[in-house]
Amino acid sequence: MKAQLIRKLQDKTAKIGVVGLGYVGLPLMVRYCEVGYKVIGFDIDARKVEALEAGRSYIEHIPASTIRTARERGFEATTDFSRASDVDALILCVPTPLNKYREPDLSFVINTTDSLVPHLRPGQIVSLESTTYPGTTDEELAPRIASRGFTLGEDVFLVFSPEREDPGNPDFTTRSIPKVCGGYTANCLETGMALYGQVIDRVVPVSSTRAAELTKLLENIHRAVNIGLVNEMKIVADKMDIDIHEVIRAAATKPFGCVPYFPGPGMGGHCIPLDPFYLTWKAREYGVHTRFIELAGEVNSSMPDYVVSKVGMALNLARKAIHGSRVLVLGIAYKKNVDDMRESPSVFLMEKLRDLGAEVAYSDPHIPVFPRMREHRFDLTSVPLNAQTIAAADCVLLATDHDKFDYAMIKAHAGLIVDSRGRYLEPAVNIVKA
């Protein structure tokens, strides 16, 4: 069974199923189509499926022409999970959020697996890419697959291979980012290497699914802790009337031992704000209190409040209150030059300002309409960024520093700018660093 599946994967006669067609699953689908595989995409969102079947894209950095090309190469999208039996590989790219208690919410992973298991057949490989705590693949997926009477590593193969997408990054693509892969058994790992080896330039094997799961958490915890450190340094530097961005640029000239991280209004994206808490939750099972990780989380979570306090201070100096002031938020994506709003700190800033009585508007060239979100609701559209809209605002809050913004024009017409990204290097009477 293993040899036959590996042969099909290597000669590209295997059919690939990608489950979850978002920021991770859609680029992966495109990559498999590019090298000649037939791909079926599964998603519970009928609107996404309808768009893809019509050759449209809903992710800015994946153009519609790319979707149309994939369709011409045989890609099809469906909400019918019974078609899982039609594919040789199932790659799960579904969300793994936190619940309101900051505990892992595996409902998407579990519900998806439960929807697929009745349709599994011998000779398939299942790969989980969703970021999660060590043990998820072994403890949640493996028993469900085995419940069908399959022997893992002989009938069906199971791996964990964490996604490493960086939306909008022109320097790294799905193909060029090395792929970590851990198998439930040695046979599973061998099959997983074949699954990814044709589409990724370098696949990095590790000893187990747990090692692969922890690898992804370490990557993002490393970033979260260092961002927490520099966010705390920003507050200290501000109290000392020192520009933290100047300090970071100077420190970065050291050719060894110093990797520059930059502060901001909080952390966004699906990974860095959430992943550390997957490990802290699981660590409690082993009697370990991850104080360092949790402290970084507290610092980063507090940054929107810090920025709002700077807005309040800046307006106060202008003899205005937040209540009743018109605040124009520049950029609501979680990072610059993308349309991805997952866990965006801009949204938390907007909510806090709204709760304090501000009249909030936003401008974002990548997000023309504030989308429907599970926990955040604004009935807003992006306002045009021109001299009139800028001058009409009591405060312009730079939350996400898109390259498309005309920063000189903003500076020339804004009465007050609160810069939470360090975009303005030179001090000015109308600019407050946050």
Question: If phi over 0 gives left and psi between -120 and 50 gives alpha, with beta otherwise, what is residue 24?
Answer: alpha
Residue with structure tokens 């590019």?
34
SS3 label, residue 221: helix
Helix ranges restricted to H, 41-179: 46-53, 64-72, 107-116, 136, 142-146
| Catalytic residue (choose from 93, 181, 188, 271) | 271
Give the integer Cα–Cα distance in Å for 361 and 326: 8
Q: Where are the beta strands (DSSP E) in 111-254?
A: 124-128, 156-160, 179-183, 203-206
Please, how many CA atoms are within 13 Å of residue 159, restricted to the half-sphere of its CB?
31
Give the integer Cα–Cα distance in Å for 192 and 169: 26
DSSP letter string over 316-379? HHTT--STT-EEEEE--SSSTT----TT-HHHHHHHHHHHTT-EEEEE-TT-SBPPP-SS----
SS3 label, residue 200: coil
Give the CA dihedral 140, 6, 215, 275, nearest 10 degrees: -50
Q: Are 417 and 409 in contact (CB under 8 A)?
A: no
Helices then strands, each counted (H, E), the chain = 15, 13
- Give the total residue count for the chain: 434
Is 271 annotated in the active site? yes
Q: Are 1 and 151 in contact (CB under 8 A)?
A: no
Please, what is the end-to-end C-alpha distance for the chain in angstroms?
59
Nearest to 244 by CA among 260, 266, 256, 220: 260
Which are the catalytic amino acids?
A: 271
